[in-house]
Structures are given as C-alpha cells and as structure tokens.
Amino acid sequence: MSKIQVMDEVLANKIAAGEVVEKTMNVVKELVENAIDAEADEISVKLIDSGVKEIEVKDNGIGMDEEDAKLAFSRHATSKLKNLDDLFYIESLGFRGEALPSIASVSNVRLKTSNGEVGTLLTLEGGKNLKVERADLQKGTTITVSDLFYNTPVRLKYLKNLYVELAHIVEYMNKMALSYPNIKFSLTNNEKVLLNTDGSGDLLKVIFEIYGVDITKKMIPITGENDDYSIHGYISYPEVTKGNRNSITTLVNGRVIKNNEINKCIIDCYHTYIHKDRYPVIILNIDVDPILIDINIHPTKMDIKFSKIDSLKELIEEVITKRLEELTLIPEVSVRDSYSVSEVRKQIINKEEKLEKKDNTTYEEIKLDFEVQEEQKEYEEKIKEELPFEVEEEKNPRIKKMIPRGVVLLTYIVAENEDGMYLIDQHAAAERINYEKILKQIKEEKQKIDLLIPIRIELRKEEFILLKTRFDILEELGLETEEFGNNTIIIRTHPTWIPKDREEETIRKIIDIIIEKQDFSFDDFIWRVAATTACRMSVMANTYISLEDQEWILENIRYCENPFTCPHGRPTIITYTRYELEKLFKRQLD
C-alpha cells in the first residue's frame, strides 16, 4: 500500500490556516480586504470579545450569486486571477483563494450575500456541513465568524490576551482607513465605537480621527514622483514621535505593507532630528505599476518585493529631506484648545506664515514691535564686529536673528525677536554647532597634528584582534597608529578636530565604537564619533555662560543645516509666539 496520500481538504485548510489565520486580526484583515475588492464604500466591523467570540464584517459591495458564494469556500477559488500572466500584474488586495476556506476550517461561519438579483445565506461548521438558504436582496455581503479556533484548542490557547488581540485589530483598521479615505470604516468591540470615518476621501480627516488634534496639527503634506514611482502623504514634525515603528504606515497601491528597507530609509531622513529610539508619524502612499512589485511572497501579503528599490529610496529621501529643510521646526508652546479638522487644516497651511495683526492692535504694541526691530538692527551691527567667528555671507540662516535677554536655571538662554520669545538649551545648541563643524572637518578636512609624546593604548586580546582588522578606519579618520608590543597600539598623529586636552579620552572612545559595532557602517560611525566629540566639548547644562557666549550660540545656531535639534534628536529651541503669550495673559480672546 502506498505511504503517500492526498490530504483531506479540511485537513489541508487547517494547515493553511496556520499561515493565514494566526490571530483575530488576520480574520478581520482577510474579510475587510475582500470587501474592498468587492468595490464597497462602506465597511462595518463588529467584534465580540476582541473577535475571539465573534467577528462580523458587513459591506455594501457588489455581492455574489449563489454559485459564487458556495465556490468561495473552496480552496484556491478566486475571482482575482484568471491565468499565469495575471500573477505578475496584481491590482486586487486578495488573490490566493486561501482566506475563506482557511477561516471556515477553524470556526463557524455564516455568510449572507446578494448581488441585487438573488440573496444567499450559507452556514458552515468547521469548514463542512454546508447549508444553503435564500436571503433578502440587500446588495452587499455580511460574514460572521464565531467561536474562532474552537476545533484547534492549541491555537486558541496561544492567542494573546483580549486587549492585545484588540490592539492588533485597531492598528490594522486604522491603517486601512488611512489607505482608503474614500471608504467609510466603522469598528466596534462589545458595542463600543473604536473607529468611525466618514469616507469623504479627505486623508487629513482620517488622521484627525485616528491621532487627534495635537498630532494632526503637526503633520506636513508631501508629494513627489520620478520615472518609476509616485509618493504622497503626510510626515510629522520631528517633535512628534512614537516609541515604535507602528507609527510608520506604508501603503503600496492601497495595500498596507511592512518593508524594513523602506522604514529604514524613512527613519534615516530624520537622522539627528529625533532620538534614535523614537520614530516619526508617517503616512506614505506609494503608487507604482504592479509589474514592478511582487506581493506573492507570504500568505499574509504584508511583505513585498520592489524592482528598482534604489529609485524608490532616492525619491523618499529627496522628498522628505527637502521638506524638512524647508520648514522652521521650532516647537511652539501653545495654549491647548479644541479644534475642528477644518481649523487644523488652516493651521497646517499657514504654519510657516506669520500670524496677521488683529484689527484691534494697539499703538503700544506697534511701538514695541518697532523698538524690537530697531534694537535688532543695532545688535546685528554689534555682533559682526565682536563675535569670534566668521559666517559665510552666501549662507542663508534657518532661524531669524534673536537678541539674548539672559539665562534661566543656568541652562536655558532667553531670547526674543519681533515674532516672540525663545528658550534655547545652551548645551543642545552648542552641541549641534560643534557637531556640524566636526562632521565637516571629518569629511572634508584632512589636517593632522603630530604628537610630541605618542598616546599608548593597551587593549584586551580579543579587542586588539578586532581592531587590527580595522586599522584602515583609523587611518581614514587621520589617526596614524602602529602596533607596540602585545595587545598595545600607539597613536603618533591625530586629526585637528579632536578637542585639545581630551585627545586620549576621545581616541579611546573612537576605538570603543569601532570594536563594539560588528555590522560596521562608516557613515553611522562618523555620526557617532562627531556626536560624541561634540557633546564632550560643548558647554554643559547648569553652567554659567557670559553674554558673549550667549551671542555666539544664538548666532551660530542660525546657520546650522539643522538648528532645531542636537545630534541625538533633542530640541535645541522652543518658542512662545507673541500670539500665544498674549493668549496666556488674556490679551487675546478668541
């Protein structure tokens, strides 16, 4: 008797369910994507106990006749693919024909559907005992999945707790709402509303619904295209960050995906704008000819392969970097109010425009503005003569000139100009100035200093072995080294950017970084060296600085490429606009 047998269809579906249906979110995902493919513009998801007890997905799509409804639960039955060529040009969200039979094999399913001409009601228990009845003619489809994993208790045991399962579903539904702002989505759990969009096609409204007013006010629209790709969406100001990558929503032709290369490219665009353990809020739509992508990698269809991915990454980097460079990224301290989405949109559009004067502006206010501007002119003339540095005349400042008024808490410089009041973190600002100076010297200048007395550094044996393979890195940085006995090196020359009297400390730190990083990236290494060195040579918090030092920091920070954050992503400066100050003191009443 042959040992090899063809699997029973129910058994094969249960095995497939292990890949397609791992948690309640997978069921919601497959059913919602089917609803979208059915051209629905209203999709309702109702859960009982986070979907473990029951999931109902209702849509107003094109529906099915009785024959298609019965066939939909057969394995590999799909309306999306007709032949092999279609596999290379997929425009639908679903296409494998595995979802419905896989779901039905581990649950009880009730399907009610109508194409407007005939209504059909199907019920299945564990993928079998199919019952077919007549139903009403309301166009669309409603699928109810109950008692998920009732016949696979091991799978049920390893489900996360109900709150975790619900969080996954909410995250997915939020991303789908961002993908399709033209579809009205609703989500409830135990009759509590968790999401409700209006389907108007306005992406900013969806962002407002999901993230709330504070984050929506800090979103920046982006758009761009090249020969292969087109991108559009919203990115957040660097001051708005989250603790994980789930804040990055990447969509390809309307499909929610997770791609590490794209995520890394986006995060790299925010390099030194935000802390390395924080992530921006991003909604990035990528439109591309389906022939340039491959989504047939995993049954969940969350991963994707790109042709010409370098072209896509270049476009993303160019658009996001240019957009960040165009903006004044000083966080504003604002009075918290409630806003409508139209008011938030107005704030986004006018973010970089100066607030218009109110009709009731007093003579004293006009006079004060004039006096501040006159004082600024005098200050500019004074600063040119007294500051111990030169500014490139052709370089445009990113920040308006500020007049220092003092230091509070031995840490924060208080300054002003005609727009309002500023608080500058003296250490963070000095660190940014020194960082950009050091980075430029590392990349462009190759000047060295010969040491009268070489620096001797002894290492552990394993450290010495690792360092020996990377002597070329030390040489490229301008450090001339040679072996000196067992597990010891001596440094005879170092670059001029290493701070005086901290040569050995800085060189030891550089060596530690080289040894520590196994997956070595020279650009990342240079950033760490420049950031670490800048931090050590900058004025610290809780330190008195003179008026001249304040002026030096305020003038130099204006001409930095990114004057808004230190190399580690902390803000250097925040502002109280004149309008917000007057609002705080009740001089402005809306």
List the domain boundaries for the chain: 9-196, 203-326, 354-445+497-590
Mean pLDDT by 10 residues, the chain (590 residues): 54 48 87 91 94 94 87 64 47 60 87 91 81 88 89 69 88 92 95 93 90 87 93 92 88 86 91 86 91 65 78 94 84 66 69 44 44 51 46 69 93 93 95 91 78 86 83 83 86 83 82 73 77 87 92 93 91 89 78
**Which letter, b or e, does each residue of 499-534 get, where b requires 16 or more Cβ atoms within 10 Å of its Cβ?**
eeeeeeebbebbbebbbeeeeeeeeebbbbbbbbbb
Q: Establish how many alpha carbons lie within 13 A of residue 555's alpha carbon, considering only the half-sphere containing its beta carbon.
A: 21
175 within 8 A of 168, measured Cβ to Cβ: no
- Separation between Cα atoms, residue 529 and residue 43, nearest integer Å: 52
183 within 8 A of 203, measured Cβ to Cβ: no
Task: Note the pLDDT of residue 460.
Answer: 83
What does each C-alpha distance from 241 to 267, 291, 527 come to in angstroms?
Answer: 11, 35, 21
152 within 8 A of 52, measured Cβ to Cβ: no
* CA-closest candidate to residue 23, choices 170, 204, 208: 170
Which token pair is 428? 């963070």
What does each C-alpha distance from 341 to 202, 225, 283, 333 come to in angstroms?
Answer: 10, 28, 17, 20
148 within 8 A of 51, measured Cβ to Cβ: yes
Contacts 24+ apart (CB under 8 A), 335-339: 335/580, 335/583, 335/584, 337/590, 338/213, 339/213, 339/217
SS3 content of the chain, % helix, strand, coil (to 5): 40, 25, 35
Which token pair is 218? 């800090």
Handedness of CA 246, 249, 252, 253 (dihedral sign): positive
**Which letter, b or e, does each residue of 130-163 get, where b requires 16 or more Cβ atoms within 10 Å of its Cβ?**
eeeeebeeebbbbbbbbbbbebbeebeeebeebe
* CA-closest candidate to residue 59, choices 46, 45, 39, 40: 40
On the question of a common fold for 203-326 and 354-445+497-590, the answer reads no
Task: Note the pLDDT of residue 91.
Answer: 53
May I ask the CATH class of domain 203-326?
Answer: alpha beta
**Which letter, b or e, does each residue of 379-392 get, where b requires 16 or more Cβ atoms within 10 Å of its Cβ?**
beeebeeeeeeeee
Q: Count of CB atoms within 10 A of residue 348's CB?
A: 17
* CA-closest candidate to residue 429, choices 411, 446, 441, 442: 411
Residues making up the chain, counted from first to last: 590
**CATH number of the domain at 9-196, please?**
3.30.565.10
Which residues fall within 8 angstroms of residue 311, CB to CB, at 6 or more apart? 226, 227, 228, 229
Domain 354-445+497-590 has CATH 1.10.10.10: no
* CA-closest candidate to residue 522, choices 440, 443, 433, 463: 443
- Helices (H), strands (E): how many in the chain? 19, 24
- Separation between Cα atoms, residue 199 and residue 573, nearest integer Å: 39
DSSP state of 92: S
- Separation between Cα atoms, residue 71 and residue 560, nearest integer Å: 64
Residue with tokens 């208790």: 153
411 within 8 A of 426, measured Cβ to Cβ: yes
pTM over 0.75: no
- Separation between Cα atoms, residue 272 and residue 562, nearest integer Å: 8
Task: Note the pLDDT of residue 154.
Answer: 62
